[in-house]
Structure 1
Amino acid sequence: MSETSSSVARPVPRATYRLQLNADFGFREAAAVVPYVARLGVSHVYASPFLRARPGSTHGYDIVDHGELNPELGSKADFDAFVETLRAHELGMVLDFVPNHMGIGGSDNPYWLDVLEWGRSSDYAGWFDIDWFPEAPHLEGKVLIPVLGDHYGKVLESGGLELRFDAEEGSIALWAYGTHKLPIHPDCYGAVLGTGHAALERLGDAFTHLSAYHPHEQRRARELKRDLARLAADPQIRAAIDASLAGFAGREGDLDSWSRLDRLVEEQVWRVAFFRVAADDINYRRFFNVNELAGIRIEHEELFEHAHRLVFDLIGRGVLDGLRIDHIDGLLDPKTYCHRLRQRAPRPIWLVVEKILAEHETLRADWGTDGTTGYEFANLLTGLLTDPAGDARITSFYRSFTGERARFSEIVRASKFAIMDDEMASELNTLARDAARIARSGPRTADFTQNVLRRALKEIVAAFEVYRTYVTEDGTCAQDLKELDGAITRARRNARALDPSVFDFLGSLLSARLTAAPGSGYSRQEVLAFAMRFQQYTGPVMAKGLEDTAFYRFNRFVAANEVGGEPAEPTTTIEAFHTANARRLAETPGAMLATSTHDTKRGEDTRARLAVLAEVADEFTAAVTEWSAILAGEGAGTAGGEGGEFARNDEYLLYQLLIGAWPSEAEVDDAALGDFRARLSGAMLKSVREAKVRSNWAAPDTDYEAVVEAFIERAFASAPFRAAFLPFQKRIARLGAVNSYVQTVLKLTVPGVPDIYRGAEHWDLSLVDPDNRRPVDFELRQRLLDDPSAPAAAEALGDGSAKLRAIAALLALRAERPALFAAGDYLPLDTGSDQIIGFERRHGAERLIVLARRFPSRGVPAGTPAIAGTGAARLVLGAGTVDLSAGPTPSELLADLPAVVLLAGVDVAAGAAPSSGVRALANADEDA
């Protein structure tokens, strides 16, 4: 069920296939596609989270109970049948696991609801990262619940808050909008039940005196709730309960009439509030800035055991062979977590972590993982396929067309500041408060005010080049010191008005060096706790500022605007590609290789098309100028209004999305175009809101959004625009198909574990999430896989079957020669041209030669040096053999194929010539 790399004494998959589970694609549906996935050739299904999540979850990351399967995906019997189907087809399974946060809100997380009922005395209060003593005095001992769509008073007087009795539980709660359950503290039940019935009065009095049972108040409360539930079975008593609750309701529009309910709310251990209050007052750690996802303290032994009990059981029973750890940077101490996971798992597992690495950063070797989930590899490939010759031309045109002049680094810094000023201001305020408390511990730092420290911390966070550092009780490593010192140096330069000594203090504090010398006067525990909490803040600010803001503002070349990407440096040299592959083989041979994921902002084939634009920069910029003029002329007298003109930066983005995601010719019809238009509108709406320039999620500018939609409608309705756009798009699509084929071959042959994102074995022309979670046509893929004789003409137009067949052929080879791929040496080849990438994989007598074209618009380069070797080599993509003794050149080998894979050094069998369909795909530009 799994292969074992000679350099990693743990099970490592041969290849994985990601399945996105939800209510419409649950365990039964997953089981139905298992035969196809096995036929494709992977060794493991890589499942999205399948533990109990909030009802209606489309992704599964909002887990409410790690100890149960998600019932919306099917029953336990359905899950067991899915597992048996995997075993019958000799497939293993890997799970996407979420240890950083849980879904809250609604009425589904029993542990969170217990905290809301009992506050700090809840058995689960320590599970969540809550600041019970925040700076705001009105929140002391309370949890902020920012779920209201308007100010508290307005929601209260409109009747949006309702007191309800649960007859089955015998419990009372406030419900916001009938959706969000906010439990009433049991010692308030007496006030709610009132004196309208003698039995209720007696029971209410017992609730009021719960403190007499300290420290067993919760046990006593459970007993009294059971009594209340039994009493409520009597219709007269139930009517009395309903009457008591009705006494807390007021009249809509009369705020004073709701004063009794308002007083009851004030007595609770939570404060329900307008969702915008969260930016300033939130006092629990969230997943980024998502109020409905609360951070959990997985470092606590009890919580760790609870959260992993079911997963460890599945590992022990052989159901799971590995875990993909979601958002590892959200954890207080990722290294300790990974070590504990290894130690507690009942058997060895494959362990990869979702870690976004900066260009100069490497995964920490001492974590003991098999590698990352492959974001850096996706960007490496896109950069390799991007022609550096077009960069300057595209940059110049982008600036002139849009008027955008800021450098990307300036946009990132401004975006981070915007996040810290608005969506994540509360967390920064808390850090500044705690830093000031520590500063007051020593006379040399006592005069650093909270305001000064906040300004300095903000500058340091904005100057970070990595997502976070990893200071722990074990100390601060040289890599972390370098990152901290670099950020502080840049912060000093950017904030010359601040006293430089404040940065000296913060540098010592953030590295935990403040208490290095005995008798420092500072608490080591407080210093270390601060440094580690700071690390949990920098990552979300980077993610929200860079990925979810700057990437939507800087639209110069959006193929490079991917998670883990460097939009300012969109290209990768052949040398850098080889270096990265050799390092991966040496350090993390079991790392995942991804080209599409549930997080990518554009699908892999959308990016492959967009990469072509750098090759044809002059044609592209001329085309954009023409298209814009056509649509501006057709919109004369209709654009503008309250929403203003369509921003040129957004218009420029729209053209790239149209080029990259336009349906393939085999799929274009009225229905497909109608569907694409709706998808494109959704992607543009999200882009505009994420950019936070003309609109945003918190306060959408519906007038401007209407302008965006009207422009899209105009483009789809304009015959002149279509006449100008489609020939250019058709050419880019054909060249992009060559890129798609090349990146597929490279992913399946370089060191690492290739992952196929659900459906991406065929065209993946998706846009940003949730577009990349659309249903997959598995029947089409099964049909193409079972019948490889697709018409040549269809392949010339890029119907996706050549890509699927290449994947199947290479996965079959990986199964045939596992050691070659898992442990084979990686040797770059001198191809004599920057248009051809070449390398070998060697293991014993086995030799794999891989050649692939870059920049397909230029044609196949001539005069390349011969490939050394003797004897026959098998053509893996297609059929037949190549005589290496004849000294074939890369130019000759790539005349018919955009990528060639040869297996030599072993017995090979001759076969037919490569299919004409692949030939047509390789020479797409010549046919355009």
Structure 2
Amino acid sequence: MTATAPHPTPHTPQPETGHLPASTYRLQLNPDFDFTAARRILPYLARLGVSDVYLSPIWAAAPGSPHGYDVTDHSVVNPELGGVAGLRQFSARARELGLGVVVDFVPNHMGIQGGHNRYWEDVLTHGQGSRYAHFFDISWQPLKRALEGKVLLPVLGDQYGRVLENGELSLEHAGGRFVLRYWERTLPLSPRSIGLVLEAARDALPQPSASPVPDAVPQLQSDAVRAELSSLARSMSNLPRSTSGALTDEDRLERAQEMEVMTRRLQALLDTSAEVRGALDAALGAINADTARLDTLINEQNYRLAFWKVAAEEINYRRFFDINDLAALRMEDPRVFAWAHATLFELIRDGVIQGVRLDHTDGLYDPAGYFRALQAGAAEALGVDWDPEGHGPLPLYVVAEKILEPGEQLPKAWAVHGTTGYDFLAELNGVFVDATHEDEISAIYRRFTGDRLSYGEHLYRGKQLIQRVSLPGEVNVLTESLERLGETDLRSRDFTLSALRNAVREVIATFPVYRTYLRADGSREPGDNGKIAKAVRDAKIQNRREGGPLDPSVFDYLGSVLTMDVPDGETRGAYADFALSFQQLTGPVTAKGAEDTAFYRYARLLSLNEVGGDPAHFGTRLKDFHRAAQERAQRWPHAMLSGSTHDTKRGEDTRARLNVLSELPQVWGAFVRRWAPVILERSQEQELGLAPSPLDAYTFLQTALGAYPLSGKLDDFADRVSAYLLKASREAKLRTSWAAPDEDYEAALDTFVRGLLADSGFAGALRDLHVLVSPYGAQNGLSATLARLTAPGVPDTYQGSEGWNQSLVDPDNRRPVDYPALQRRLTRLEKGAGLLLARKLLAGYEDGGVKTLVTWAALQARASHPQVFEDGSYRPIDAGRHLLAFAREHGDELAVTVAPRLTLTLTRQAAPWALGEVWGNRQLTLPASGTFENVLTGERFRVRGGKIPVAKVLEEFPLALLIKR
């Protein structure tokens, strides 16, 4: 029997308005997988059944960027990917195949490393006098006077004085352009300092002869050269300092133009005069040889060099998290917005792009305002009317990366179609965790690691650590702003800078969500004040626990500023500036404190430590999943649904396998106890304790099981696990870290991983546990895939995840995908899909073909029945704790998803799959009677009275997507 889900007639998306993806497929572009390579697989994606291709960032980025998030120019399509011509060819081919194109856009920050960002380089050259000074969020008047008017650059590998004395800094020139070199890195020189160099070069020129010469022509030429060099030196030295006066945009433009003219003049002089070239080389050599002179010249720059390890406390430009090479943009400035989106809007206008995924929107000054501006620009580009205050359809499909804490709602007024799906990911993943065994799993974890802290305590400590170690500069800038506010009020002027800083840290550490959404006009999202009040209240409690070092009134004052509890007037605007800046810091602190610290310190069940999730929540109740799905169907029917992404800590099938441990506490506990002595024997005694630590050893055990390849091919397995454990340990920041790597500890980790995996006894036991867990983990993966592809929203398939995705954290999850193999597999499905093939694929599930079948069949069903999946209602179906079942209805159309869960418990390990009689007399109650087809197998069922036995539906295949015929 063949399945009757034929490939649908392609639907070509229209370039005007209202295009909404039905399903997406994420591609990770890089120089080795560019637009041309991506274009070649478009026919495969069309055959698979997705409606839109979803691309990682396409904009100019740091050379060789493996991910594209270090954008260096939003106005240029990345030449390394094929440039705008390659993108247009890619899009044209996609349209021929009926596919839309969604792109990842990065509005919050830019990559500034290596001299590749011309806007940042101009700021370093001209400081506040740069045409692009308004692009970046720089505090030009920080508390530290030595930084006034300068950008702190934490790029040195040692203290500045030692670097200077060691001769690691030197001046160089190429033509008319001068740089300060530090190993491979070059930094531009300010015009005034170039003037100093030219003066030195002029003085190094041979002095004119005092005695008459027969031929005066060379002397005249020499005088002209000297005059031109003197003129250039004087012009550059006389340029106004970038900190002098209030500079207008016209002033900045004129300054840049003058600099370009002078650079060309100097280039021409150097081209024609060997004397000047020699004098310039001599001048540079003399300055480089004189530490004091070189230091004086370096101090003339619009930046201050600093040791990277200690500069975080004083850094005065806002970054993406704590990454020095990613500078935040002031996207709230209309000029910056217009520049950054000009190319995007052009591509939207031309129908090259039909949708946008927005990265890290919580970093924006005013996300709601940004979303409105984006939709207004898209409306103009598409030539459609759109009322930002109305309730009509949005001109452009937009989803925003937003982490929602449990119970938190996406603001209804946002001009987006929903989130990128991390909330859904967490809800769905939790469905496959057996919450009844939480205490047992917790006890095993505590006994092995000795960790007695709750996840909440780890999170609090992580957020405090990030503020003190990774983001102290941002905290200091914010605190200095708060102190200046306090000076204007008699009731708050006695608060010390130290007290205010500690209050800011404490409130951020106890903040219950990533951020609030106060706007400059004082408006805010419902509940924002309550979240602030809770943070202030919890901060006071924590302060009392620590002996009450701070007067409670300082927390009340901070709370009043954050809620703008002040009379109207000039002060109100200053309060708003502070509150909005505060919001931009709580998000990064929470992200770094949770996702990049606490997630790696609390390893109870690693499948729960996922972006968008809360490791303290041990599983999702079915009724809670259903409620969230119903709300999404009503409020955000076009939100993205994710299973794996470029940012997830583990691939969806790695998590699916680890979830099985929640059903196996006794087996897992016995495994851990059995190998604990061997782990101890293989651990090294070091000054700070065992290497690996019990935490890292426990993380290793789960990782080795979760990532154990179903294919059985272990060629690079040890490499992958070792690389993961190194990253996990550095992120935990307990025994080693990115900032201060402990080479001995890290070497011990690698030795431990490779040695234990090579131990025949352990390797055999791990393989045995893998064999036990595998079919149930596979069932979890298949059920989660089917639910994601049929629930309300726009399901995304991360590249290669139509097969098993047992990846670990990046860069492991960006490994190349074997598309030729996937294409061959799809051809096989197209030629012979049906019950016979489904059984065969299930029997050989290890190769991932069965997951490809489920993905393909579900996507074909979506494409064949767009209304029921895109606009249909959501109805939960109660069939007991072992089934996630729901119906999608639209008019007479009906689709029913039947996805088993907790099947190891159901089958009691007696059978690898939950088939037939194992379901006993359980019944499915469907919304209607009639004939239904399981499009995964081609089987047809006659339903009478709205009821059908589960054993009948799942007699041959362990899940079903029933379509009413």
TM-score by length of 1: 0.92
Alignment partner, residue 840 of structure 1: 887
The answer to whether the 8 A contact 1:14-1:44 is kept is yes
Distance 2:458 2:558 in 1: 25
Q: Does residue 188 in structure 1 map to residue 193 in structure 2?
A: yes
Q: Which moved more, 1:444-453 or 1:555-564?
A: 444-453
Would you say the 8 A contact 2:135–2:336 is kept in 1?
Answer: yes
Per the alignment, do residues 214 and 406 of structure 1 end up closer, same or farther by CA in structure 2, a change over 3 Å counting? closer
Cα deviation digits, residues 542-601 of structure 1 (max 9, x gap): 001011000000011000000111101120011001001000000000000000000000
Give a deviation string over 1:808-863, Cα, whole Å, max 9, x none. Answer: 111111111111111111111121x1111211111111111111111111224423
Q: Provide Cα deviations, 1:741-780, integer angstroms capped at 9, x if missing partner.
A: 0000000111000000011111100001111001111111
Aligned to 2:220: none
Structure 1 residue runs of 5 or longer lacking an equivalent are: 251-256, 907-928
Which residue in 1 is equivalent to 2:304?
Answer: 271
Q: Hey, what's the Cα distance between the residues in 1 that align with 2:587 and 2:568?
A: 32
Q: Are 1:176 and 2:188 counterparts?
A: no
Matches of 1:246 and 1:794 in 2, distance apart? 73
> How far apart, in 1, do the equivalents of 2:498 and 2:742 lie?
33
Identify the match of residue 700 of structure 2 among 633, 639, 654: 654
2:560 maps to 1:501: no
Q: Residue 241 and residue 563 in structure 1: after superposition, are their counterparts in 2 closer, same or farther (change >3 A)?
A: same
For residues 193-232 of structure 1, the aligned pairs below 5 Å read 193=198, 194=200, 195=202, 196-197=204-205, 198=226, 199-211=228-240, 216-232=254-270
Q: Where does 1:110-129 land on structure 2 (aligned, <5 Å)?
A: 110-129=118-137
Cα 1:540–1:75 shift into 2, 3 Å: closer
Matching of residue 884 in structure 1 with residue 943 in structure 2:
yes
Alignment of 1:20 onto 2:28: yes
Hey, what does 1:10 align to over in structure 2? Answer: 18
Distance (whole Å) between structure 2 residues aligned to residue 864 and residue 9 of structure 1: 47
Distance in 1, matches of 2:688 and 2:464, equals 29
1:916 alignment partner in structure 2: none
Letter in 2 for 1:645: A
Q: Which of 59, 77, 90 matches 1:69?
A: 77
- Contact 1:2-1:13 at 8 Å conserved across structures: no
Cα pair 2:657 2:776 within 8 Å, conserved: yes
Separation in structure 2 between the aligned mates of residue 368 and residue 77 of structure 1, nearest angstrom: 30
| 190-199 or 502-511, larger mean C-alpha shift | 190-199
Decide whether the 8 Å contact of 1:185 with 1:268 is kept in 2: yes
Residue-by-residue CA offset, 1:327-385 (whole Å, 9 max, x unaligned): 00000000000001111112321010000000010111111210000001111111001
Deviation at 1:643, TM superposition (A): 7.3
The corresponding residue for 1:867 is: 925
Task: State the partner residue of 1:435.
Answer: 482
Deviates more, 1:696-705 or 1:864-873: 864-873
SS of corresponding position for 1:356: coil
User: SS where residue 312 of structure 1 aligns?
Assistant: helix
Residue aligning to 2:530: 482
Matched, 1:90 2:128: no
Q: Normalising by the residue count of structure 2, what TM-score does the alignment of the two structures yield? A: 0.89
Offset of residue 878 of structure 1: 0.8
- Per the TM alignment, residue 797 of structure 1 is displaced from its structure 2 partner at its CA by 4.3
Of 42-51 and 877-886, more deviation after overlay is shown by 877-886
CA distance in 2, matches of 1:479, 1:211: 49
**4+ long deviations beyond 6 Å:** 1-5, 212-215
Cα distance in structure 2, aligned partners of 1:21 and 1:684:
26
Q: Tell me, in whole angstroms, the C-alpha distance in 2 between the residues paired with 1:334 and 1:41.
A: 33
Question: Aligned partner of 1:243: which letter?
Answer: A
Within a 5 Å distance, the mapping from 1:504-519 to structure 2 comes to 504-514=556-566, 517-518=567-568
Task: Kindly state the Cα deviation for residue 482 of structure 1 after the two structures are TM-superposed.
Answer: 1.0
Task: Judge conservation of contact 2:13–2:95 (CA < 8 Å) in 1.
Answer: no
- In the other structure, the counterpart of 2:729 is 688
- SS of equivalent to 2:60: strand
C-alpha contact 1:26 1:72 (8 A) present in aligned 2? yes
Q: Letter of the aligned partner of 2:956 in structure 1?
A: D
Contact 2:561 2:579 in 1 (8 A): yes
Contact 2:11 2:98 (8 Å CA) reproduced: no
Distance 1:689 1:2, change over 3 A: farther
1:921 aligns with none
Residue 658 of structure 2 corresponds to 610
Q: Is residue 522–residue 564 contact of structure 2 (8 Å, CA) maintained in 1?
A: no
Residue type of the partner of 1:876? V
Report the Cα distance in structure 1 between the residues aligned to 2:83 and 2:498, rounded to whole angstroms: 54
Give the letter aligned to residue 341 of structure 1: L
Equivalent residue for 2:626?
Answer: 578
Q: Does 1:327 align with 2:360?
A: yes
Shift of 1:9: 8.4
- Aligned ranges for residues 504-903 of structure 1 at < 5 Å? 504-514=556-566, 517-518=567-568, 523-633=571-681, 635=682, 644-664=690-710, 666=711, 668-669=712-713, 673-788=714-829, 792=840, 795-831=843-879, 833-857=880-904, 858-859=906-907, 860-868=918-926, 869-885=928-944, 887-903=947-963
The question of whether the paired residues in 2 share the 8 Å contact of 1:681 and 1:712 is answered with yes
Task: Determine the C-alpha separation between the residues in 1 that align with 2:800 and 2:64.
Answer: 23
Residue 736 of structure 1: SS of its match in structure 2?
helix
> Secondary structure of the equivalent of 1:850?
strand
Q: Which moved more, 1:755-764 or 1:728-737?
A: 728-737
1:211-243 Cα distance to aligned partner (Å, 9 max, x none): 499773332221111101111223613333222
- The alpha-carbon deviation at position 304 of structure 1 amounts to 0.6
Between the aligned partners of 2:167 and 2:52, the Cα distance in structure 1 is: 52
Distance in 1 (CA, whole Å) between partners of 2:629 and 2:941 is: 26
Residue aligning to 1:340:
373
Describe the SS at the equivalent of 1:583: helix
Superposed, 1:81-160 pairs within 5 Å as 81-160=89-168
CA distance in structure 1 between the aligned counterparts of 2:845 and 2:167, rounded to whole angstroms:
59
User: Following the alignment from structure 1 to structure 2, what is the Cα–Cα distance between the partners of residues 646 and 604?
Assistant: 27
Q: In 1, Cα distance between the equivalents of 2:953 and 2:372?
A: 47
C-alpha separation in 2, matches of 1:755 and 1:130: 37
Structure number with greater CO (CA < 8 Å, separation at least 6) is 2
- Aligned partners of 1:866 and 1:272: how far apart in 2? 69
Q: CA-to-partner distance for each residue in 1:397-442, whole Å, 9 max, x for gaps?
A: 1101111101111111111111111111111122222112111212
Asked if structure 2 preserves the Cα contact closer than 8 Å seen for 1:471 and 1:512, the reply is no
Residues 133-161 of structure 1: per-residue CA shift (max 9 Å, x gap): 00111101100011112211222233322
Q: Of 393, 418, 423, which residue of structure 2 is paired with 1:371?
A: 418
Q: Deviations over 1:54-109 (max 9, x none)?
A: 11211111111111111111244333322222122111100100010011121111
TM-aligned CA distance change 1:482 to 1:740, over 3 Å: same
Structure 2: stretches of 5+ with no match in the other structure: 1-9, 206-225, 242-249, 383-394, 908-917
Answer whether contact 2:644 2:801 (CA < 8 A) is retained.
Answer: yes
1:433-461 C-alpha deviation (Å, 9 max, x unpaired): 21121112121222122111111111110
Q: Give distance in 2, aligned partners of 1:59 and 1:400.
A: 40
